[in-house]
Amino acid sequence: MAGRGRPAAPEAAWARFLSWTSRGVGGGWVYRGHANTAWKLRPGIGRISPYSPEREKQAVGVFQRQAARHLEGTGYDDWDWLALSQHHGLPTRLLDWTLNPLAACFFAIADQSEVAKDGVIVGLKIDRRDWLSEDEKAIGPFSIRDVRFYQPKQRFGRIHAQAGIFSVHSAPAADWLGPSPARGVGARQARFTVKSVWKQDFLRRLALFGIDEARLMTDLDGVASVVKWRLRERLPLE
């Protein structure tokens, strides 16, 4: 048993985490991992000061024009382009979420630049009032008036591998507090803190569940990164 003020042993913490994920068995929960508990629910474009909606639209347009020659197929709409640019690192008004709490855990612990900080997995229970309506979809991502969730088409392999969905934010420069209520009966929010001393152990345990960079990133950089990590950690290479 952990002493007062002392983090629990990693194996006990992992058991608590798995128990925490059981709230999602009934469906409706989405998850996001933060490598640092100080991070807020604010989209990447909103962290660039001063925020400019005109510059945001321009950046997505430039990505669209330059990325088109690298893509197969046609028929991409404004939502597709926004999701694609977000998932390849362009700051947008989107936040990444996943239906898989194990994937969210990976993103809360894998960032080596934040390994000394406690991470957190944020869980939200969403329902039909939180999803993007057909009318909102028709007016486009730069004209909505609230925070909504949507799931991109399955044509994007990495998003599919991560069981990814997005929240789109009408005010990306503002921290989002999530849907109410946060606590009590009918709470729609939950958080699990991953202490910094647990992070490396949790990475090993996630690998046993098939959750690693190679499977979540679905590219050769991810494959090489995982093999390198397994070499360093003296783990089986496959």
Position 161 scores a pLDDT of: 52
Tell me if 4 is assigned to some domain. Answer: no
Residues of the chain with pLDDT under 50: 1, 3, 220, 222-223, 226
In a domain, residue 211? The reply is yes
Residue 110 within any structural domain of the chain? yes
> 200: part of which helix (H) or strand (E)?
helix 199-208
pLDDT tens, position by position, 154-183: 555 555 555 678 999 999 999 999 998 888
Question: What are the phi and psi torsion angles at 87 (to 5°)?
Answer: -75, -15
45 in a structural domain = yes
| pLDDT for position 1 | 43
Q: Does 55 reside within a domain? A: yes
pLDDT of residue 74: 64
DSSP structure class, residue 185: T
Give the SS3 label for residue 169: strand
**Average pLDDT of every residue of the chain:** 84
The boundaries of the domain holding residue 28 are 10-232
- pTM across the whole model: 0.83
d(CA 3, CA 13): 14
For residue 86, count other CB atoms closer than 10 A to its CB. Answer: 25
Q: Which residues is 165 bridged to in the sheet?
A: 97
Domain assignment present for 1:
no
In the chain, how many domains are there? 1
Please list, residue by residue across 213-225, b when 16 or more beta carbons sit within 10 angstroms of its beta carbon and e when fewer do. bbbbbbeeebeeb
Residue 132 covered by a domain: yes
CA gap 199, 144 in Å, rounded: 38
Any domain includes 149 = yes
Tens of pLDDT along 66-105?
877 777 666 788 898 898 888 778 889 999 999 999 999 9
Angle between helices 53-67 and 78-87 (to 10 degrees): 90
| Residues forming a β-bridge with 120 | 34, 193
CA distance 205 to 211: 9
